[in-house]
Amino acid sequence: MNTKYDVVIVGAGFAGLSAGLALKEKGVKTCILEARDRAGGRAETKWLDEGIQIDLGGQWIGPTQDRMYELVEKYKMKTFSTQLFGKEQYYYYNDLYDQAPDEMMGMFDVIDDLAKKVNLEEPQNSPDINYQDRITLDAWLSTQTKDEEVAEFLGRILAGGLLASDAGEVSLFQMLYYIASGQGTEILLGSEGGAQQDRIVGGPQALANKMAEDYGTELKFNQVVRTITKMDQLYFVETENGNCYETKFVLMALPPSVINSKITFVPELPTMKKKMLQNVLPGSASKYHAVYDKPFWREKGLSGQFNLSQGWIMESIDNSNENREEGIITFFIYGIDSIKLNELPEEKRKQLLIKELVRIYGKEASEPKHFLTQDWNEEPFTNGCFTGRFAPCGFIKYGEFIRKETGGIHWAGTETATVWNGYFEGAVRSGEREAEKIVKKMK
Ligand SMILES: Cc1cc2nc3c(=O)[nH]c(=O)nc-3n(C[C@H](O)[C@H](O)[C@H](O)COP(=O)(O)OP(=O)(O)OC[C@H]3O[C@@H](n4cnc5c(N)ncnc54)[C@H](O)[C@@H]3O)c2cc1C
């Protein structure tokens, strides 16, 4: 077995695969070590017996996520639009509305204006970081409105819907950074013209499989990296099953919290890098899919898209496959609610959630023919989702260390992205960014 490389890449998610392909194109000798028996990481697609595509992890792509669309085209794959035909609805003040509260719409503008001042490349040098990274989103929202329900709802939509966290555990700055990186709240939260516009036929898992195939046999599965040791100018990457790979560079393409909790560095990483990794905490999202014989909500003129200010479910969407009779409602629970819910027995959890679906969609929602989820908190090689976010003050203290290499160790992964941070697009760009840096160093 060949065990000497120029670059060993850890992780075959979109970041690792993109890095591997970019380096291969430049003739650099690489391998990718992947802990799971599949590529794709946080992208995982399940097929139901009837041939229905269910994306358990990430699924949507949208305008300005150019590298993702280019990859879809490169591998001759196709996208289909999110299946939304009727009105979007909002549930607040214990009632249903066709739009968000007026006050909330005004607050989106305020937030977008603040986000425009964020320095994505050097967040620590953003003008108002000293205030914004010390105050939680929750506390800041309560300074902006007297209406507690509006503050809570907005916190759920932003901290929940975007970072799968509670508004009390993220700083205002973290929220603004994410919003700036994803081109503003309208694009981030939108379907048509926004981040939820398109899905990939076959799922992002199929795209990852094509990238893996293209990369070739140096992608090694079931290789759980445990230790990275530096000796002289070389690195030795050791796996749980006793393999050891020698390399000049290591490209880390996995979530910071997984690196922090599962991989040992010898000698230890410099303090600031180590602390930075300790301070990027994973979000918690539960993504559920309820499959029905038909999309009954469309007959009522509804799109199936709901945002709710109270209850377990924060948002739901028509996630039906294109050109199929079945209707699929996909819904999300975020932050502490996601963790608490996962503590309940499966049957109890299902009962609670179906009760909420009935409240939102009516009694037709009571008997889905499939009801499924995946607990990403319990996935040892992911540790939570959608992405990692800094604890308050994290950007002030460690912002400059996010992408900074440690000798020959380079850091990719969506959490390191400046554009579309937290998304597939950010992952791809991060892998290509670090590949380019390594190629420059090798010249
Ligand atoms: C439920 C959910 C919904 C989401 N929705 C969207 C969406 O609609 N659109 C979007 O753009 N993004 C979405 N995301 C986020 C998106 O999936 C991620 O941003 C992206 O997949 C991250 O890619 P990555 O390569 O940085 O990391 P990962 O995909 O996490 O890849 C890291 C890889 O490293 C491997 N690994 C971990 N530990 C080790 C180890 N010790 N040794 C070797 N290998 C290891 C893992 O198995 C994994 O394959 C969602 C994520 C989830 C979970």
ipTM: 0.99
User: What pLDDT, on the 0 to 100 scale, is given for residue 90?
Assistant: 95
**What average pLDDT does this structure show over 172-198?**
97
What average pLDDT is seen over the chain?
97
pLDDT in tens, 239-295: 999 999 999 999 999 999 999 999 999 999 999 999 999 999 999 999 999 999 999
Q: Give residue 314's region: left, alpha or beta (phi > 0; psi -120 to 50).
A: alpha
Overall average pLDDT of the 89-93 stretch: 94
- What's the confidence (pLDDT) of residue 22? 98
CA angle, 351 then 324 then 202, to 5°:
90
- 147 inside domain: yes
Tell me the C-alpha distance between 122 and 275, whole Å: 18
The CATH number for 263's domain is 3.50.50.60
How many whole angstroms from 331 Cα to the centroid of ligand 1? 19
Ligand 1 closest atom vs CA 374? 1
Separation of CA 177 and ligand 1 centre (Å):
20
The CA 241 to ligand 1 mean position distance, Å, reads 23
The bridge status of strand 87-92 relative to strand 302-308 is parallel
DSSP assignment of 202-243, as one string?
THHHHHHHHHHHHH-TTEESS--EEEEEEETTEEEEEETTS-
Q: By C-alpha distance, which of 180, 173, 162, 181 is closest to 135?
A: 173
Indicate if 183 and 129 belong to the same structural domain: yes
Same structural domain for residues 240 and 169?
no
The answer on 180 and 226 residing in a single domain is no
Give the distance, in angstroms, between the CA of residue 155 and the centroid of all CA atoms in the same chain. Answer: 18
Residue 223 and residue 183 in one domain? no
Residue 77 is assigned to a structural domain of this protein: no
Q: Is the peptide bond before 386 cis (omega within 30 degrees of 0)?
A: yes
**Dist. CA 434–CA 406, nearest whole Å:** 12
pLDDT at residue 1 greater than cutoff 80:
no
pLDDT at 2: 61
Please tell me whether residues 131 and 156 are part of one structural domain: yes
What is the average per-residue pLDDT within 8-30? 98
pLDDT at position 199 over 70? yes
- What are the structure tokens assigned to 433, written together? 């960014």
Give the mutation target among 37, 38, 42, 428 for probing the ligand 1 site: most ligand atoms within 8 A of CB.
Answer: 42
Confidence at residue 60, expressed as pLDDT on a 0 to 100 scale? 98
Residue list, ligand 1 pocket, CB within 6 Å: 10-16, 33-36, 41-43, 57-60, 223-225, 253-255, 258, 262-263, 285, 287, 376, 381-382, 385-387, 413-414, 422-424, 427
Looking at residue 196, what is its pLDDT? 97
Mean pLDDT along residues 8-35: 98
pLDDT value for 364: 97
Answer whether residue 10 is part of any domain: yes
For residue 16, the enclosing domain spans 4-42+204-269+406-442
Q: Which amino acid is at 220?
A: K
Of 158, 188, 218, the domain-final residue? 188
> Whose CA is closest to 276, among 113, 405, 439?
405
Determine the distance separating the centroid of ligand 1 and the alpha carbon of 13, expressed in angstroms. Answer: 6
Assess whether 177 and 208 both reside in one domain. no
Which pLDDT value is given to residue 89? 94
Burial of 443 (0-12, 13-18, 19+ CB in 10 A): exposed
Strands 225-231 and 409-411: unpaired
Q: Alpha-carbon distance 216 to 20, whole Å?
A: 10
| Residue 323 region by backbone torsions, left for phi larger than 0, else alpha for psi between -120 and 50, else beta | left
What does the block give as tokens for 367?
A: 């008997």
